[in-house]
Amino acid sequence: MSHELIEKSKKYLWLPFTQMKDYDENPIVIESGNGIKVKDVDGKEYYDGFSALWLNVHGHRKKELDEAIKKQLDKIAHSTLLGMTNVPATELAEKLIEISPEKLTRVFYSDSGAEAMEIALKMAFQYWKNIERPEKQKFIAMKNGYHGDTIGTVSIGSIDLYHHVYGPLMFESFKAPIPDVYHSKSGNPVQCRDECLAILEKLLVEKHQEIAALTIESMVQGAGGMIVMPEGFLSGVRELCSKYDVLMIVDEVATGFGRTGKMFACEHEGVQPDLMAVGKGITGGYLPIAATLATEDIYQAFYDDYNKLKTLFHGHSYTGNQLGCAVALENLRLFERENLVEKVAEKSEYLHLLLEELKLLPHVGDIRQLGFMCGIELVYSKETNEPFPAEKRVGYHTTLKMRELGMLTRPLGDVIVFMPPHVSTKEELKVMVNILKEAIIEVTNGVKEVGTR
């Protein structure tokens, strides 16, 4: 580990979501990638077990995607989307509208999932102003939700570990509970779901006149620990939003583009959002493009003579970047040509069988999966669901062990994230799950001894 780039990385960088003291003890610099593997500067290869943080679809250095960028580069890299558009941004918008829930008819671009959500919040807020219902100014967000790291999205987020410190900077939002079956008292999905919907309805009865919108991740809370919502919850929330005249903002940043075995996770329940944020997989994991999709009704509320001041005054320097849009377009064409969504759905049944075996391990408390979006929760006691002491950092050490064994991922507390690229074959899935298994056995055995002493 004496590579000069390792030393430079320790000297100059400050990495996102990273305690740099941890990094200094276990540095890694990636140099190249091929298929579902990446290689570091020392030549060690790793399976990409978290799709480069939930982004990658077709593997690394996919020929068609590389070509799409090169081809676009021969024309132009970037102009702007303020007051004008460009070729790939326009074509991509058409494609996005074609594949997304039918009520969504307009695409507003940005560069990250957080921005896409932040824009959805501003659209919802201003929508009610523009249609002369200015009293609707507040938001309902889901407990344990995550929508990004800007101050706006932190305000509708509620993961204490990340968000608490910024409390004084946030705007207030109401928080509604999410049916977290494994951590609930009853452990009964239907009961959990109905209790949460009842609490939400009570809140809406009291407050709907001041509520602009509700924000919710689609089917799975990702950063909150891969919490899969029981059947009927998302559609139940949709019904309540309609009933109480509240816009529904669905966050598909993690779940969109085939990740859960549908093109968008809200299709599992036939839900039509009013606003939908997408990002991550949109470019196949290549370049930073995100988008907020809106209904025609919302779009029309902003459409008027300039002097009425209904314009959405929001934009970023690189919005609609041509290279990003070109690769996103090719990514979506590949989805069709390769029948990728159906393939993920099919392979995820096999993955389910592989993960079932992990359930037999003494410290695997719960395994949650929707498509290729999986969380393996490690606990001290399977009988009582008692967690390991937080300071043991069992999840973190398990992922370090996995790294040693040749696979990359990140933990969410003691939940190990497993989100392989969509193109992972059954054989590759098997090898990756074996690495997971070996790391879990080694680390949890060690901690058990320390823990009981």
Judged by the rule CB under 6 A, the positions of this chain that interact with ligand PLP are: 112-114, 117, 146-148, 217, 222-223, 251, 253-254, 279
**Pairing status of strand 415-418 against strand 174-176:** unpaired
Q: How far is the CB of 361 from ligand PLP (least distance, A)?
A: 27
Take residue 61 and report the two structure tokens written for it. Answer: 């250095």
- 318 annotated binding-site participant: no
Q: How far is the CB of 71 from ligand PLP (least distance, A)?
A: 25
Query: Which residue's CB is nearer to ligand PLP, number 249 or number 440?
Result: 249
Place of tokens 């054989």: 427
Q: How far is the CB of 171 from ligand PLP (least distance, A)?
A: 18
Q: Is the dihedral of CA 401, 407, 412, 415 positive or negative?
A: negative
Q: How far is the CB of 365 from ligand PLP (least distance, A)?
A: 23
Instruction: Quote the CA–CA distance of 419 and 447 in Å, as a whole number.
Output: 25
- 258 annotated binding-site participant: no
Query: Which residue's CB is nearer to ligand PLP, number 115 or number 274?
Result: 115
Q: How far is CA 244 from CA 120, 156, 194, 208, 237, in A?
A: 19, 20, 18, 6, 11
Instruction: Quote the CA–CA distance of 28 and 13 in Å, as a whole number.
Output: 12
Nearest to 242 by CA among 269, 214, 203: 214
How far the first Cα of the chain sits from its last, in Å, is 34
CA 190 to chain centre: 25
Q: Please report which helix (H) or strand (E) contains residue 227, including its range.
A: strand 227-228
Q: Are 69 and 286 in contact (CB under 8 A)?
A: yes
- 113 annotated binding-site participant: yes
Q: Are 49 and 440 in contact (CB under 8 A)?
A: no
Question: Which residues in 273-398 belong to E strands, given as ranges?
Answer: 275-278, 290-295, 364-370, 373-378
Instruction: Quote the CA–CA distance of 428 and 447 in Å, as a whole number.
Output: 29
Q: How far is the CB of 329 from ligand PLP (least distance, A)?
A: 19
Q: How far is the CB of 289 from ligand PLP (least distance, A)?
A: 10
- 316 annotated binding-site participant: yes
Q: How far is the CB of 147 from ligand PLP (least distance, A)?
A: 5
Instruction: Quote the CA–CA distance of 132 and 122 in Å, as a whole number.
Output: 15
Q: How far is the CB of 317 from ligand PLP (least distance, A)?
A: 16
Q: How far is the CB of 55 from ligand PLP (least distance, A)?
A: 9
Query: Which residue's CB is nearer to ligand PLP, number 283 or number 348?
Result: 283
**Residue showing the smallest CB distance to ligand PLP in the complex:** 113
| DSSP string for residues in 29-88 | -EEEEEBTEEEETTS-EEEETTHHHHT-SS-BT-HHHHHHHHHHHTT-S----SS---HH
- 106 annotated binding-site participant: no
Q: How far is the CB of 222 from ligand PLP (least distance, A)?
A: 4
What amino acid occupies position 198?
Answer: A
Query: Which residue's CB is nearer to ligand PLP, number 176 or number 354?
Result: 176
Query: Which residue's CB is nearer to ligand PLP, number 36 or number 253?
Result: 253
Residue 358 CB coordination number (10 Å): 19
Query: Which residue's CB is nearer to ligand PLP, number 146 or number 257?
Result: 146
- 317 annotated binding-site participant: yes
Q: Is the dihedral of CA 271, 252, 59, 260 positive or negative?
A: negative
Query: Which residue's CB is nearer to ligand PLP, number 16 or number 43?
Result: 16
CA 233 to chain centre: 19
Q: Are 145 and 331 in contact (CB under 8 A)?
A: no
- 242 annotated binding-site participant: no
Query: Which residue's CB is nearer to ligand PLP, number 259 or number 363?
Result: 259
Query: Which residue's CB is nearer to ligand PLP, number 16 or number 83?
Result: 16
Measured in degrees and rounded to the nearest 5, phi and psi for residue 232 equal 90, -5
Query: Which residue's CB is nearer to ligand PLP, number 146 or number 396?
Result: 146
Q: Which residues are annotated as a binding site for substrate?
A: 146, 280, 315, 410
Q: Which residues are annotated as a binding site for pyridoxal 5'-phosphate?
A: 113-114, 251, 316-317
